[in-house]
Every structure is written in structure tokens, then in C-alpha cells.
Amino acid sequence: RRLDRGAADPTAIVDAVIRQHVAARVGHAATRVTRLATWDQVSLPEDMLDSLRELIGRARHGRTVFDDWGYDHRIATARGLTALFYGPPGTGKTLVASLIARELGLELYRVDLAKVMSKWVGETEKNLGEVFDAAEDGRLMLLFDEADSLFAKRSEVKSSNDRYANLEVNYLLQRLDAFEGVAILTTNLEGSIDPAFKRRLSMRLYFPVPDEELRAQLWAAHITPQIPTAGRLDFAALARRFPLSGGYIRNSALRAAFLAAQEKSALTQAHLERAVLLEYRELGKLADDGRLD
């Protein structure tokens, strides 16, 4: 059937159909991540941003370096890009992974470890193989959240369970060596990752808790221009008083917006402070009398 003039690009249509088919293949083991955030909402140290630019550049220019410049035959390393993002909770690891996927024009899929890992011998490897194959076929970017549970250090074999667990790790090592796509691993426990995995990683990036200046920037970034405000919102004071990571600042800002909406009032500094204290209480960092513990 002919395409009418002005119709969508045939290449784009084929690409979309392929991605849809591939997405169905990984649907049982991975979930598509859809984020509407932008780089403006991320406040990171400049050296960290430099590392992220390098990571994106490596993903974009792999064909030039490996094929055109001959490094495919010179260096025995995986052609794909596998990076480890590690650091405390709420520091933006998953958010940045989604921004990188968007920058590269890739769909991001979070691997559901509960569905991938199986008590049956060989089933975990089969599930992982399907995920890696689909990612390469459909140009999907993989995200392994809490990767320490899957990429953990191999243990001394004392039982059949230890032996099977080590076989799973060995299989993952082989797949990473052959993987030609992009995969991001995130963890709060970098020390639990098997050293053999670390040697195979393209890059390792540490996500620190933001300093006071960056925290103030994050507070400002999470207050939308549409929300009505009353009085001065002192982001510097919030940053100075509450050493929160970016994820908790985002949660607190959203919480404050709902507090204001519930009261049918404009957002105030009091709403922001109350939201933070509620967040701290849930984190177990607030004493019974309401003081920071």
C-alpha cells in the first residue's frame, strides 16, 4: 500500500513496530520507565555532569571507535555500555538513567528482579537471556535497580544453592561481555557488587548527597511556576536546615503542594517546612515531640 504524501517517515513506522514487538517480549520481566523530568531538574556537581556527558558520548560514538577506528580488534572488551550508578538513596540515580535514555532516543526498561529470578535451575538465566536479547534487537536501554541483589559477590560453595547462585553470576558476566546495548545498574551498596562485574563496567559514577548550594537549587527546581505562592520562599534556609537528598526534596515539595491545595491556599514557607518534617517522621528521623532526632 502506498503512503500518502505527508505521511509519517516509513523508517520511523518500522522502527516503532519493531520496538512495540520487542516490548511485548520483555513485558513479563521488565517495565517501561516513563519520566517527564528534564536536565533542569537535576542539580549535580560539575565533575559529575562531565562524566555523564562522557557516558552519553560513548553510547553515541561506539560504532566510530570500534568499527571505523579499529578498536573492535584491538581491545577485548564489550562493545556495549554498562555503567554503575551508586550512592545513597534519593540522589537521582534512576532519574538520571531516564534522562540518558531520552538523550539517546532509547526506551528505558526497568528489569523486574522478582520476575527474573527463579528458584528453578536454569530459569533465571533463561529469563535474563530473553531480556538481553530483546534489548539488543529493539534498541532498549536496561535499568537494573538495586543491582546488588543480582550482581552480588560470588560466595564460597557450601551447598547446591551456592553453586546455582554462582552459576547465575557467571552467566551474567558472560552476557555483559557480549552485550552490545546500554545498561545502567544502580545500587546503594556498591561494596556488595562482585569485583568481576566492576572490572567489566564501562563507567562507575558516584551520586553524592547534594551540598547546601545544590540543595537550594533543587528546592527551587521543584517549585513549579504555576503554583501560587505567598510570602518569601527561603530555599537557602531549607537547604541549610535539612540535609536531604534530591529524591526527598522532590517528595517534600510535592507534599507541600498538596498541603496547600488541601487548605485552598497559596504555597508558603510553612507548608514546605511542615512537609519536610512529615518526610523526616516517615524516615524515622523525627522524635516524638516533633524535633529532629
Class of domain 212-282: mainly alpha
Tell me whether residue 82 is exposed, middle or buried, using C-beta atoms within 10 angstroms of its C-beta: 0 to 12, 13 to 18, 19 or more: buried
With residue 219 as reference, give the H or E element that holds it. helix 212-221
> Rounded CA gap, 8 and 15, in Å?
12
> pLDDT tens-digit profile of 46-93?
999 999 999 999 999 999 998 899 888 877 677 889 999 999 999 999
pTM across the whole model: 0.82
The x, y and z cell numbers of residue 126, run together, are 533463561
> Rounded CA gap, 261 and 284, in Å?
26
In the chain, domain spans: 10-206, 212-282
> Rounded CA gap, 282 and 45, in Å?
28
pLDDT at 143: 95
> Rounded CA gap, 101 and 105, in Å?
6
pLDDT at 155: 56
Query: What is the chain's Cα-based Rg?
Result: 22
Sheet holding 107-111, edge to edge: 30-32, 107-111, 140-144, 182-187, 81-86, 203-206
- Is the separation of the CB atoms in 14 and 3 below 8 Å? no
Identify which of 94, 141, 60 has the alpha carbon closest to the alpha carbon of residue 246. Answer: 94
> What is the DSSP code (8-state) at residue 281?
H
10-206 and 212-282 agree in CATH topology:
no
pLDDT at 42: 81
The x, y and z cell numbers of residue 187, run together, are 545500587
Cβ-Cβ contacts under 8 Å for 83 (sequence gap 6 or more): 55, 183, 184, 185, 201, 202, 203, 204, 205
What value does the mean pLDDT of the chain take?
Answer: 84
* Domain 10-206 architecture: 3-Layer(aba) Sandwich (3.40)
How far is residue 133 from each of residues 81, 148, 263, measured CA to CA in Å?
15, 22, 51
- Is the separation of the CB atoms in 274 and 256 below 8 Å? yes
Enumerate residue ranges in the chain where pLDDT < 70.
Answer: 1-24, 27, 76, 153-167, 286-293
- The position carrying cell 530459569 is 123
pLDDT at 176: 82
Tell me whether residue 143 is exposed, middle or buried, using C-beta atoms within 10 angstroms of its C-beta: 0 to 12, 13 to 18, 19 or more: buried
